[in-house]
Structure 1
Amino acid sequence: VIVAALDSLGVPVTSVMAVLGAAGLAIGLALKDSLGNFAAGVMLVMFRPFSKGDFVEVAGISGKVEEIRIFSTYLLTPDNKLIVVPNGQVGAEPITNYTRMDTRRVDMMFGVGYDDDLKTARSVLEKICNEHPLVLDEPATKIFVKELGASSVDFAVRPWCKTDDYWTVWGDLLETGKVELEAAGCNIPYPQTDVHLHTVNSD
């Protein structure tokens, strides 16, 4: 009806329709991201993969969840930066929630020299884990040779702790492990490069 009325008034209908079509396309493209963020925000509210206060990694960013809005999520990074992440990005990639579970495994590596006694090294690592007050008895700590490196025999040390104690346990065991391994006579190798210089005669 509107098109017929415009045509009867001598208005170039083809041009008007082209303008309206272009305008509709522009509006659709402009709203695409907003609608995607809105839909992702609704999904976050429904399924709640994380809550306010959780420490998460989303869209390649790690931080504590400060606020969840319908279009974006606010993360506070460990160095106190507030980052606003569009919910479309949050919902499009895997989400890692570090604090949802009560316990967490601490994955560590300790290297000793090839000339060192492996039983002694294992005993030292077991001792520091067993004596740490924040390391849990269950699940049990696992210690095993994981790799024969270029300059060291590498032990994987995997104790469990309460999630809130993760960084305390990690830092304590790293420091105590070095001290106790050295006290037991074990060497902690580091990568070395041998450089050979050759003299070339100019003759």
Structure 2
Amino acid sequence: MNIQILLNELERDALTEIVNIGVSRAAASLRRLIGAEVLLSVPSAEVVSRSAAAAMIADRESEPLVTVRQDFAGSFSGRALLILPAANGASLVRAVLGEAVDDEEALALRDETLTETGNLVLNNCLGTMANMLRESLTLSLPDLDHGGPAALFAAGAAGGEEAGGVVLFLYINFSIRNHDIRGYIAMLMDMPSLTMLQQLIAGFISSVMDDTAGGA
């Protein structure tokens, strides 16, 4: 099944813009928290199967991964993941904590810092999506996982491939305190949720076009 055609180019562009607004808000929150310039961007969005998402990360990353995950529920439901290679996760912790914290303390605070930072990024992304699409979402508390890409996208959780499960896959760039950090945002959804999300995005595009036409 070629599921990439489920979102057309205009819909992918609109979704990418919505998520970029969300991560921009996350960057502003991080900037206030740590008192340093923070840049976050999501270059593109695509919809792929779980196996394809796992293969894409496995092709790019050879080291273990650290992942912050949150379940979300509403008119569309699923699980959101912020995925970082372990070394990038360590760089993110160091960037957030600053140089005044020594290595031993940074290690002790690693999981807590990653969880809080991931929660901030995912909350802003999901909250912005909900607000701009005029929907509401309920979010679970964040959890932290360690492991490879196959475990992250295992078919048994949050709408597996046997139930038509898919992954909304986004590459993310961080720049914090001159640390360049790469990672991924993935949203695991079943097909009914993806279909609903597509309908909401189409409605968002239509409203933007109507506003533009009305203001011309």
TM over 0.5: no
Larger CA Rg, structure 1 vs 2: 1
**Which TM-score band applies after superposition, normalised by the shorter structure?**
under 0.3
TM-score by length of 2: 0.22
Structure possessing the higher relative contact order (Cα contacts under 8 Å, 6 or more residues apart): 2
> With structure 1 as the length reference, what TM-score do the two structures score?
0.23
